[in-house]
Structure 1
Amino acid sequence: MSDTQFDRKAWLARIGYAGPLTPTLDTLNQLIFAHAHAIAYETLDIMLGRPPRLDVPTLQRKMIESRRGGYCFEQNMLFRAGLRSLGYSITSLQGRVVRGLEIDAPRPAIHMLLKVDLPEGTYLADVGFGNLAPTSALMLVPEIEQETPHEVMRFIDVGGELTLQARLRHGWQHIYRVIPYPRYDGEYEITNWYTATHPDTPYQGNIIVAKPGPNRSRITMYNARVTVRDADGHAEKRRLATENEFRDVLRGEFGLNLSDQEIDACVAVMKAKGTGDAPHPFFA
């Protein structure tokens, strides 16, 4: 999966970024913020029977030219290509998602992450974790509270794996454990195929979309439930009832370029296979 065909100009236009391009920490933070706000986390192609492809040309066609979103492998693969085009030193990593679980839960490595080496130190970059992806780079050191444009975050060492936590309304919440060893792209291909095709993954039957919003808010859609969480952790929830409401939210609030037929098909799959309004720990 070579990055040589990456169109940096088109990517920067898509995320609305016109700032400095020198590979510094400040530029990295601005790029994370811009990318996260412009390209929503979403898994709708999986519902439509289209397992994501991770080659750079396909990612560009989907998320840049077609103005769609993507999930962790798509998002961080595209972001990695953008960072490398600017001269950043990147190591690809994986994480064990423990959102809503015990901090040391025996979880598989199903999340893609990026490690960025900078003069100031080693940082985590992640634009692909749905409703709690960090909106700035985080130094990979434990026990230090780090401000982001949204939540305060920190890492806790658990058996040699740094666990990312976010401080929410009811205290520190676990997100994922970072495995500190480099990964090959072939390993992402295997994990992507598993998460996109296994019948028990939540992506098969549920509409899952997320995006950071203005004023440190977060907006998450899980089936017909749309949740907007403000900077203080207060959540406002509403339920969608009609096809037009689904279309308005997916296109208007999340900026997804989807046809009526695609949205209607996702709603039909949701009604047939989804878990309804049942809470999911990863997308609370």
Structure 2
Amino acid sequence: MRSTPYPVDLDRYFARIGYAGSRSPDLMTLGRIVARHAASIPFEAIDVLLGRPIELSPAAIDAKLIDRRRGGYCFEQNSMLQRVLCALGYRVEPLMARVLWMRKPDAPPPAWSHMALRVFVEGVGYLADVGFGSCVPTAPLLFDRTTPQPTPHEPFRLSRTFEGYLLEAQLGRDWLPVYEVSPMICGEEAYRTANIVTSTHPQSLFRQNLLVALTTEEARKVLFGNRLTIRNRNGTVTRQDLDAPTIQHALTGVFGLAFQDDWRRIITRIGSGAETTIAIP
């Protein structure tokens, strides 16, 4: 997350996401990489639930997400994508956003705590984000277009606000706010501080709940607490409450994570009903 990001091993990264296409820094390549990343590297913050620090050094991120085939949350996923895109020749600017997804309309404004990217293709800026979890955009989105923009999943739209741009997703007939993103380039120190707060504050979502998400070509798959929700592209939705053994099966079979023994105390607690869950659209 430096102004000149550390390089990444592109061959290892592309093998991780199952991408074998063009490496030209154009819009088609960008879209395919975003879609393959979202379908291959789960959003998860299991280490936060275990009380472990989230290390944002490039070496730590690559070892976790590529070598150990783990997932991560926004600071890990999007900082790695930033380095990948820079290595391919894109101009990339790191941005900060505040999450509005599933917040009550009358709730106070949240903190700026989400990392996103502005990627330029032939001088035109696009929003790229592979680290938002349950409603991650699966295609680059034009910043200066207010009309709905299609993706392989839901349509999204960006509209100007006093402080930046409001990202919304269309679910059925409703447009739901996802986050507000600032157009100002964000520095490394701001990300470091936001990461510490997000991973350690007692009220952080990730300190209180198990959240794992993966968006494949066929469906969005979300595990929140013990509730597994699968929303297919055709609009059908299935929800299932899981016990500890089926949570473990979902982590490995649905999300492709290599199960670790120290996760058992988390899934035992959640699978026993000791944790509450909320419905995710």
Range class of TM-score, shorter chain = over 0.9
Which digits, 9 at most, give the CA deviation of each residue in 1:115-153, with x for residues without a partner? 011116110000000111100100002422111011111
Which digits, 9 at most, give the CA deviation of each residue in 1:170-211, with x for residues without a partner? 411110011010011111110000000001112113110011
Which residue, out of 107, 110, 114, partners 2:110?
A: 107
Q: Which moved more, 1:154-163 or 1:122-131?
A: 154-163
Please name the residue that 2:183 is paired with: 180
| 1:271–1:245 distance in 2 versus 1, CA, 3 Å | closer
Structure 1 unaligned blocks of 5 or more: none
Where in structure 2 are the equivalents of 1:75-224 lying within 5 Å? Answer: 75-101=77-103, 102=105, 106-119=109-122, 121-215=124-218, 217-224=219-226
Please name the residue that 2:69 is paired with: 67
Paired residue type of 1:258: F
Q: Equivalent pairs: percent with the same residue?
A: 33
Q: How far is 1:252 from its partner?
A: 0.9
Separation of aligned partners in 2, 1:84 and 1:229: 33
CA RMSD of aligned residues (A): 2.0
Separation of aligned partners in 1, 2:106 and 2:85: 30
Q: TM-score by structure 1 length?
A: 0.92
Separation of aligned partners in 1, 2:203 and 2:273: 11
Corresponding residue pairs, total: 278
Separation of aligned partners in 2, 1:192 and 1:271: 28
Please name the residue that 2:255 is paired with: 254
Separation of aligned partners in 2, 1:203 and 1:269: 15
Q: TM-score by structure 2 length?
A: 0.93
Separation of aligned partners in 2, 1:62 and 1:250: 16
Contact 1:116/1:125 (8 A) holds in 2 = yes
Paired residue type of 2:157: R
SS of aligned partner of 1:146 = coil
Paired residue type of 1:140: F
Please name the residue that 1:16 is paired with: 18
SS of aligned partner of 2:206 = coil
Q: Which moved more, 1:93-102 or 1:147-156?
A: 93-102
Q: How far is 1:278 from its partner?
A: 3.2
Please name the residue that 1:240 is paired with: 242
Contact 2:220/2:231 (8 A) holds in 1 = yes
Structure 2 unaligned blocks of 5 or more: none
SS of aligned partner of 2:12 = helix
